[in-house]
Structure 1
């Protein structure tokens, strides 16, 4: 009888991008974990994300960590991430117009100006702590721009979003007091913004969503508040983390860094390639809504399946002769960094656009950049990324 690999995803020292995972993938398309089964290969992983016999499994995350009540558990259950069926489709339809690709693409010049402004602040020094001096202010100020928030209030919004981002970490139960304090602070702030836009409409995302709020079958104020708080923390935290992971990956491949500087139009492809090999969302969760025969694996109703993003995205059986990192490759299979199926990330145009703008500018202005030490990193599980990432380069003159 074949032995199924076991991967301890609950261990904060476990690396879901490690050779241990690759070895398990060679042996089996799935592994057992403390959080259900982990899917390790591309074909099976993409099939799960599209399979209507599964729903988004994140609704179970609080209970999996022993959290059964309280304001965070209640809020989590109301987010788009946790809702299913008609409730999910209705909210997605109402929120969707604010994230259309054309509207986001028109903001590219503002994203470019912001990226250059931030680089200007450290370019002459020849060194930067990338998270605090670029990734966090860039992600946070773009979020403020989208929501129509005062630019100078980004540090407070970022602080709340950072603490609320611990919702996705495997230490969520330990971090719950900080998470709930951040939820209270950010919710109060967002509700004041909603009230202001109701009286003083502007050309921003909050006003756009308030118009939807006033139509039939529309968002009520609680739904709008929950959605905007979720957007504020998820949009900031994931972009900040993914930018740090992008630099980590590109600096390990100096030829790719130089190529990106020389051909900035490759910025979009660089984003996709980084998210394939080094995603901040290290697994995507699904829950069976009925008994499922999954390629011979019996998954009972309520069973949890985790699609491991890096393992799936680097599966040599799908990536062909060049499974490594190369921003010139045009026909990569779609990665799972933005999820999949009906729960595909609503804000993916924002993330794709702001990162595709920032990465070429960083490569052009820091051509010989390299890590200035190991930095400090979140566990490579759940949602991961850098806490601190010092970088050195030749100063601009």
Structure 2
């Protein structure tokens, strides 16, 4: 297929939906589409090969510039771990890795269970709740604060800031610029406060201690600004994505009640439920790469500097790889791309998988027959998406 014949998707349109019939038609027609930002990869096979292709670098660093956006969020975004390549990326990733080790996450699972039960206890007798504010938001925020060994009394402030910052990852970035930058300034204020308070206590082996020690001992491994950048990333990334993904999971199960009942009967299916939700309804609907040199792929010449969007939601539901329209938490699937891939594979995937597994297992056992109790409100259905509000009713189990 010639490039000019490929379908065009206007992903800059605030009403664009990555789950639309338009995208499905484009995927049927071609493995890629043209967009205002470069190319979009629509199919599973091509995405699985390109996401680890060394001729592509992480491309999200350019997102603020593509939107004509500046300010404190854009400055932080250009510096932080996800936007780095090569030695700087490796150095920062090694510094952050101990906070997200599998052994540490396993040790925290009883705390995740206790937190989930505490939140459910607060609303279960009512038989209804606004799921995002009653569960998804406080759970996501307090999991991150648990990981950072911080008190939970400020979870609301952290959540509100993370949600405002998260607007930058959607197609309305430009129109929300003032709110996004104000939230970023507030988050950095909290990061400085958190570090100052942590320094008052003896340093241990936790995430914050390891970063502070690297700075204070003058090993040259991290600068003070990089220290703040990593703390902001841990708080923002952990809260915003987990909050959204839990909301999308609840929506998906409401639309698939037989799978909710199956999970309630066998909580051991919870890890598979997380993977299946993230395959069909990921909060991160695409990941971005940029060509570091010109190369040809499947007949398409991709110039140096070209942006390539890898549509994880479209690839995860590609009928060439997965049964069309099937949501099955018992199925063994090939990997999804909800956590990205390659050297930029999500560093926090262990904690995300663990905390969401515990949450879904307990929710399914305690909330029977969940259903919509009003009209949910959602972020735009592209970029990073999720419910803004999700009113539900249920039968206490």
Q: TM-score, normalised by structure 1?
A: 0.96
State the alpha-carbon separation in 2 of the partners of residues 156 and 382 from structure 1. Answer: 24
Q: CA RMSD in A?
A: 1.5
- Select the residue among 52, 55, 71 that pairs with 1:53: 55
Structure 2 equivalent of residue 22 of structure 1: 24
Structure 1 equivalent of residue 288 of structure 2: 285
Question: What does residue range 176-255 of structure 1 map to in structure 2 within 5 Å?
Answer: 176-201=177-202, 203=204, 204-213=206-215, 214=217, 216-255=219-258
Question: What does residue range 313-332 of structure 1 map to in structure 2 within 5 Å?
Answer: 313-319=316-322, 321=323, 324-330=326-332, 332=333
Structure 2 equivalent of residue 308 of structure 1: 311
SS in 2 for 1:136: helix
Structure 1 equivalent of residue 93 of structure 2: 92
CA contact (8 A) 1:264 1:360 kept: yes
Structure 2 equivalent of residue 354 of structure 1: 355
Tell me how far 1:211 sits from its aligned partner: 3.0
Tell me how far 1:46 sits from its aligned partner: 1.2
CA contact (8 A) 2:284 2:384 kept: yes
Q: Please list the CA deviations of residues 55-77 of structure 1 after superposition, one character each: whole Å capped at 9, or x if unmatched.
A: 0101111110112x432222111
State the alpha-carbon separation in 1 of the partners of residues 385 and 66 from structure 2. Answer: 19
Structure 1 equivalent of residue 120 of structure 2: 119
State the alpha-carbon separation in 1 of the partners of residues 142 and 64 from structure 2. Answer: 30
- Select the residue among 261, 264, 270 that pairs with 2:264: 261
| Residues paired across the two proteins, number | 393
Q: Please list the CA deviations of residues 206-259 of structure 1 after superposition, one character each: whole Å capped at 9, or x if unmatched.
A: 113323433734112111100110121111000000000001111111110001
State the alpha-carbon separation in 2 of the partners of residues 198 and 220 from structure 1. Answer: 16
Tell me how far 1:198 sits from its aligned partner: 2.5
State the alpha-carbon separation in 2 of the partners of residues 249 and 307 from structure 1. Answer: 22
CA contact (8 A) 1:290 1:301 kept: yes
Tell me how far 1:393 sits from its aligned partner: 1.1
Distance 1:78 1:233, change over 3 A: same
CA contact (8 A) 2:366 2:396 kept: no
Structure 1 equivalent of residue 365 of structure 2: 364
CA contact (8 A) 2:318 2:324 kept: no
State the alpha-carbon separation in 1 of the partners of residues 105 and 212 from structure 2. Answer: 19
Which of 238-247 and 34-43 deviates more? Answer: 34-43
Structure 2 equivalent of residue 40 of structure 1: 42
Q: TM-score, normalised by structure 2?
A: 0.96
Q: Please list the CA deviations of residues 314-367 of structure 1 after superposition, one character each: whole Å capped at 9, or x if unmatched.
A: 112122x5662100012x111111111011011111111100000111111111
Question: What does residue range 72-151 of structure 1 map to in structure 2 within 5 Å?
Answer: 72-151=73-152
